[in-house]
Structure 1
């Protein structure tokens, strides 16, 4: 399932994500040399409709068409078939950012493919890992990490002072590579704009120029650190609409404007048809359903039961169904030495 190359296919620096299938057959790992041999790993298009990573890498590599890269680069291009159709993933297809669990014995070819990528990069002594994403709601650009380690924090704050520490969901690319090197996920806002592309390109080029990571902690004033404590999904049995409609749950029209704002107790998220049942599943890092801790229903309205800060709220019902409605976060005012 995995194709490995030691060169850039002709046209890769100009192609749109929807046309990648004309150049490569599927998931592809491309190794390019640089002045430093230990490679930087960059993964793009784990979700096929998130093309900022491709455009950012194209911008970076165009600068070095006639010069050596500062450091070797291993570029992983993920869900080419979903990119062809401009969707996160195809119906019935596994999510390419949920298949990286270390030691997973699943026989699906996607799991074997990600294990192969991880093993290849372990053998190459990967320097750092960057996974580039977009999201579908109104969110600032921010970085996500799976370890509260100085090197991880230094890498992430090169992209944004807003950093989210998370341990769920499992099976994400950054979690697998966190066992090998400092690893970060970049959230670059909605696809289609230049700001995310330019921001990611500057970050990747900066990472290529790094010789090592500082050993001192990141200064507190340079960091807004949050802990993702729960994921909120809408059960398949709950009908869903946005703004208006006859459904079990009708979310506020501009629900994504709540992202990265601390919502006060009693903030309305939407309306419900059944006043006795919270139409959400909110699971903490241990997998426990804690919906009633954060939400309640009053007079047919779904409201917050306590102050909470959401991220990645979206108005795209397809993505809500395929992934989640949002994540809930708490600010980390003190930083543990290691987690």
Structure 2
């Protein structure tokens, strides 16, 4: 599935994500030389409807069309087929941000492709990894890491003081590369926003100019650190609507406005038909269903059972079905740095 190139394809810096299929046959890894040899790895379009990464890299690379990059760059362009249709993934596809090596022996072509990319970058001595994403709800720009390590935190806070540490879901790109180098996922708000493109472009260019990572810890006043403790999904057997309609679960019209807000106990999230059944599946890092710990039903309303902060709440039912409703986070007051 993987195409490997040593130069930019003609027109790559001009095309829209929906047009990439005209110049790339599918997932493509592009290596470009730079003044410092250890390459920066950047992955874009793991989800086909998240085009901020493409636009940001076009901005960066246009600046260096007639000059050397400060550091070698390996650019991975992911789900070209889904990008053609402007969707997260095609119905028959695996999620391109759940296919990366995690100590398993999956034999699907997508898993083999992701493993090959990881092996290539390990051989090239990758310097750092950046995975650029959008989300579909109202969220601030923030960074995600899979290790509580000084280098990872320094890289993340170059993008945002809001940093989310997570260990689930498995199979994500940043987790695979965390074994090789400092790795970060950027969440750049909704697709189509110029501020997300500009923010990601400035960050990538800054990373290209890095020669090393500081050894000292990030100052506490420069960091708002959260831990992702659970992922919330809506089972396929539960009918779903937003704002109005008759369904097993009808979420609040502006549910995504709860993102990155510390919700109090008793916050209303929606209406339910069956008052005896919580219509959510809330799984922690041990893959245990802990829905009753965070949610309860009162008088036909879905409520929070304790204080919690959600992220990535979305009003897009298709994305809820393909991925999740949200993640639940708690603030990390202390910083247990890994060694």
Structure 2 Cα separation of the partners of residues 108 and 117 of structure 1: 15
Structure 2 Cα separation of the partners of residues 92 and 201 of structure 1: 32
Large movers: runs of 4+ above 3 Å: none
Structure 2 Cα separation of the partners of residues 106 and 115 of structure 1: 10
Deviations 1:23-54 (A, max 9, x none): 00000000000000110000000000000000
Corresponding residue of 2:290: 290
Structure 2 Cα separation of the partners of residues 80 and 311 of structure 1: 27
Corresponding residue of 1:231: 231
Deviations 1:154-196 (A, max 9, x none): 0000000000000000000000000000000000000001000
Corresponding residue of 1:195: 195
Q: For residue 107 of structure 1, report the CA deviation from its aligned partner.
A: 1.1
Deviations 1:273-312 (A, max 9, x none): 1000000000011000000000000000000000010000
Q: For residue 58 of structure 1, report the CA deviation from its aligned partner.
A: 0.1
Structure 1 Cα separation of the partners of residues 24 and 336 of structure 2: 44
Corresponding residue of 1:88: 88
Contact 2:188 2:197 survives alignment (8 Å): yes
Corresponding residue of 1:67: 67
Corresponding residue of 2:183: 183
Structure 2 Cα separation of the partners of residues 101 and 39 of structure 1: 20
Corresponding residue of 1:44: 44
Corresponding residue of 1:115: 115
Q: Secondary structure at 1:132's aligned position in 2?
A: strand
Q: Secondary structure at 2:21's aligned position in 1?
A: helix
Q: For residue 213 of structure 1, report the CA deviation from its aligned partner.
A: 0.2
**1:312 matched to 2:312:** yes
How many residues end up aligned between the 2 structures?
A: 339
Corresponding residue of 2:219: 219
Contact 1:102 1:115 survives alignment (8 Å): no
Corresponding residue of 1:9: 9
Structure 1 Cα separation of the partners of residues 70 and 104 of structure 2: 35
Q: Secondary structure at 1:130's aligned position in 2?
A: strand
Q: TM-score, normalised by structure 2?
A: 0.99
Corresponding residue of 2:19: 19
Q: For residue 104 of structure 1, report the CA deviation from its aligned partner.
A: 2.3
Corresponding residue of 2:53: 53
Q: For residue 259 of structure 1, report the CA deviation from its aligned partner.
A: 0.1
Corresponding residue of 1:206: 206
CA RMSD of aligned residues (A): 0.6
Structure 1 Cα separation of the partners of residues 137 and 152 of structure 2: 26
Structure 1 Cα separation of the partners of residues 58 and 65 of structure 2: 10
- Which ranges in structure 1 are unaligned for 5 or more consecutive residues? none
Q: Secondary structure at 1:62's aligned position in 2?
A: helix
Structure 2 Cα separation of the partners of residues 324 and 79 of structure 1: 19
Corresponding residue of 2:33: 33
Q: Secondary structure at 2:147's aligned position in 1?
A: coil
Contact 1:101 1:170 survives alignment (8 Å): no
Corresponding residue of 1:173: 173
Q: For residue 2 of structure 1, report the CA deviation from its aligned partner.
A: 0.1
Deviations 1:244-295 (A, max 9, x none): 0110000000000000000011000000010000000000110000000000
Q: For residue 338 of structure 1, report the CA deviation from its aligned partner.
A: 1.3
Structure 2 Cα separation of the partners of residues 158 and 104 of structure 1: 32
Structure 2 Cα separation of the partners of residues 16 and 187 of structure 1: 20
Q: For residue 105 of structure 1, report the CA deviation from its aligned partner.
A: 1.1
